[in-house]
């Protein structure tokens, strides 16, 4: 359980950096959070944490022009959000994916 709380704290810290546009400082964070998300994906609580990582990782990768990983993160966000059963998280995953895709002219996806 301590590991899951640590992951949640890391996600919150990464979200604050993203909100502050500290993208350079975030470069090392997604791989660490992704690894933690994979290890914490058990059950609904783990799915919530995993979806939270993917929801953050997608727009970061999109802002950096890394479309292939961004697309993979988008898919993983949607899958984890559906597994979580949390409608608010599912909406967050959809919103996180929709905005960058709209900006890159890929609204049909």
Distance of alpha carbon 26 from alpha carbon 51, whole angstroms: 18
The verdict on pTM exceeding 0.85 is no
Higher pLDDT, 14 or 5: 14
Distance of alpha carbon 13 from alpha carbon 68, whole angstroms: 25
CA neighbor of 84 nearest in space, from 40, 34, 32? 40
CA neighbor of 55 nearest in space, from 94, 7, 101? 94
Q: Where are the beta strands (DSSP E) in the chain?
A: none
Distance of alpha carbon 72 from alpha carbon 1, whole angstroms: 28
| Residue-wise pLDDT tens digits, 12-46 | 888 888 888 887 777 766 676 777 666 655 777 78
Distance of alpha carbon 62 from alpha carbon 68, whole angstroms: 9
Per-residue DSSP letters for 49-81? HHHHHHHHHHHHHHHTT-HHHHHHHHHHHHHHH
**HSE of 109 in the Cβ direction (CA atoms, 13 Å)?**
17
Distance of alpha carbon 41 from alpha carbon 48, whole angstroms: 8
| Residue-wise pLDDT tens digits, 60-106 | 888 888 888 888 888 888 888 888 888 988 998 888 777 766 766 76
Q: What integer pLDDT is reported at residue 9 of this predicted model?
A: 75
């Amino acid at each position: 359980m301590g590991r899951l709380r640590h992951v949640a704290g890391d996600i919150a810290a990464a979200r604050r950096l993203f909100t502050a546009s500290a993208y350079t400082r975030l470069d090392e964070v997604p791989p660490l959070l992704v690894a933690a998300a994979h290890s914490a994906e058990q059950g609904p609580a783990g799915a919530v944490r995993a979806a939270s990582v993917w929801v953050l990782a997608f727009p970061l990768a999109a802002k950096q022009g890394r479309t292939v990983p961004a697309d993979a993160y988008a898919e993983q966000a949607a899958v984890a959000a559906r597994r979580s059963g949390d409608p608010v998280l599912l909406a967050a995953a959809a919103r996180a994916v929709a905005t960058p895709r709209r900006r890159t002219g890929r609204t049909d996806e």
